[in-house]
């Protein structure tokens, strides 16, 4: 619990002014890139690729010729770039601040090259991916990478999705991003996803609902924030540089429903809550909400208002 509280204090200190927030970003990018440039690729990065390949087999998207947008691309643009290895897609890479780390990307891509046999692909796909990876490893910077892949990088500090053309994308994807959208802005943001999609287009997202301070202190619950009232969390733990909105599963499902997106798949990652005293502010939620630590959601843009909905849980 000590590490949890000390980390919260440090992050709140970095959040106190534009200057300290900028210092945090610069330090994070510099130190983070140095670390990731030499670190093992996280195992779940392969899982994310296999998931997208399975979605392609199940629903026909992604496929050659489509237009996708990755939201909150972070330092690697992982979803868009790895999709490009197997499908000839045009990509928009959308973010609110620049965390790009080319040496980290190259390190992970190099490790991916050695791990292609662990993906659910055939020999033709594997050979094609290796050729593209070889070219990626030779680029000098991200601008050269975008020219190689036919991608466009869009930096929008406002994060409103307003500058993008309506109904122009076949696929909207994000991983570990939506939980960082300011809570009051999430209805408009999810509605924006619906506006961007063509009729019949797909929305694919992984949402981490855990307490992110848990990453710094494994002695606390993965959803430690459930123990604190909204007021106490805001005063003592909430910060701007690693903000999480603490939106729960049922609320996410409702946001997508209101955006006129049809649920296709929902996969829930459950966490253990034993020993955690749930604050009154969270006692309105069902047990399924409280124990949900992560969501993987697939939605489809309606073809018409009267279309029936059907959800499959993996």
Residues of the chain with pLDDT under 50: 309-314
Report how far residue 205's alpha carbon sits from residue 193's, in angstroms, rounded to the nearest whole number. 11
Q: What residue ranges do the domains of the chain occupy?
A: 2-313
292-301 sheet: strands from edge to edge: 151-155, 90-95, 67-71, 169-175, 197-208, 292-301, 261-270, 312-313
pLDDT at 314: 41
Q: Looking up tokens 């910077």, which residue turns up?
A: 141
With 0.95 as the threshold, say if the pTM is over it.
Answer: no
156-165: long-range pairs with CB below 8 Å, 24+:
156/94, 156/95, 156/96, 157/96, 157/97, 158/96, 159/96, 159/185, 159/189, 160/188, 160/189, 160/192, 161/94, 161/189, 161/192, 161/193, 161/195, 161/196, 162/192, 164/69, 164/92, 164/94, 164/196, 165/196
Structure tokens at 124: 């033709």
**Secondary structure of residue 152 in the 3-state scheme:** strand
pLDDT at 162: 86
Could you tell me if 85 and 62 are in contact, meaning their C-beta atoms sit under 8 angstroms apart? Answer: no
HSE (side-chain half, CA atoms, 13 Å) at 136: 29
Report how far residue 79's alpha carbon sits from residue 91's, in angstroms, rounded to the nearest whole number. 10
From the options 1.10.260.40, 3.40.50.150, 3.40.1130.10, 3.40.50.880, give the CATH code of 2-313: 3.40.50.150
Which one, of 166, 274, 156, 160, lies nearest residue 226 by Cα? 274
Phi, psi of 287 (to 5 degrees): -60, -35
H or E segment to which residue 64 belongs: none
Q: What share of the chain is helix, strand, coil (3-state, %, to 5)?
A: 45, 20, 35
pLDDT tens for each residue of 116-150: 999 999 999 999 999 999 999 999 999 999 999 99
Which one, of 207, 211, 187, lies nearest residue 267 by Cα? 207
pLDDT at 312: 46
pLDDT tens for each residue of 20-66: 999 999 888 888 889 999 999 999 999 999 999 999 999 999 999 99
Report how far residue 75's alpha carbon sits from residue 102's, in angstroms, rounded to the nearest whole number. 7
DSSP bridge pairs for 292? 270
Distance between the two ends of the chain, CA-based, in angstroms?
A: 34
């Amino acid at each position: 619990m000590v590490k949890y509280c000390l980390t919260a204090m440090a992050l709140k200190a970095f959040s106190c002014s534009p200057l300290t927030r900028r210092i945090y970003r610069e330090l994070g990018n510099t130190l983070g890139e140095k670390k990731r440039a030499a670190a093992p690729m996280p195992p779940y990065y392969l899982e994310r690729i296999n998931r997208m390949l399975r979605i392609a087999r199940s629903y026909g998207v992604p496929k050659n010729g489509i237009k996708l947008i990755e939201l909150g691309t972070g330092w690697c643009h992982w979803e868009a770039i790895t999709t490009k290895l197997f499908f000839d897609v045009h990509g928009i890479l959308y973010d609110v601040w620049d965390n790009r780390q080319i040496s980290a990307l190259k390190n992970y891509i190099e490790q991916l090259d050695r791990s292609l046999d662990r993906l659910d692909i055939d020999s033709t796909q594997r050979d094609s991916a290796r050729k593209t990876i070889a070219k990626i490893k030779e680029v000098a910077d991200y601008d050269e990478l975008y020219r190689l892949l036919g991608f466009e990088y869009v930096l929008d500090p406002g994060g409103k999705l307003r500058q993008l053309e309506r109904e122009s994308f076949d696929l909207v994807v994000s991983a570990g991003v939506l939980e960082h959208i300011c809570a009051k802005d999430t209805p408009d943001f999810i509605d924006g996803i619906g506006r961007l999609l063509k009729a019949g287009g797909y929305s694919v997202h992984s949402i981490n609902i855990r307490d992110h301070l848990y990453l710094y202190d494994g002695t606390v619950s993965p959803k430690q924030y459930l123990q604190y009232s909204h007021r106490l969390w805001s005063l003592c733990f909430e910060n701007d540089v690693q903000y999480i909105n603490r939106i729960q599963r049922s609320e996410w499902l409702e946001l997508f429903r209101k955006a006129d997106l049809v649920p296709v798949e929902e996969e829930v990652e459950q966490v253990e809550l034993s020993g955690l005293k749930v604050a009154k502010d969270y006692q309105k939620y069902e047990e399924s909400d409280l124990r949900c630590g992560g969501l993987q959601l697939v939605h489809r843009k309606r073809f018409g208002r009267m279309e029936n909905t059907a959800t499959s849980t993996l």
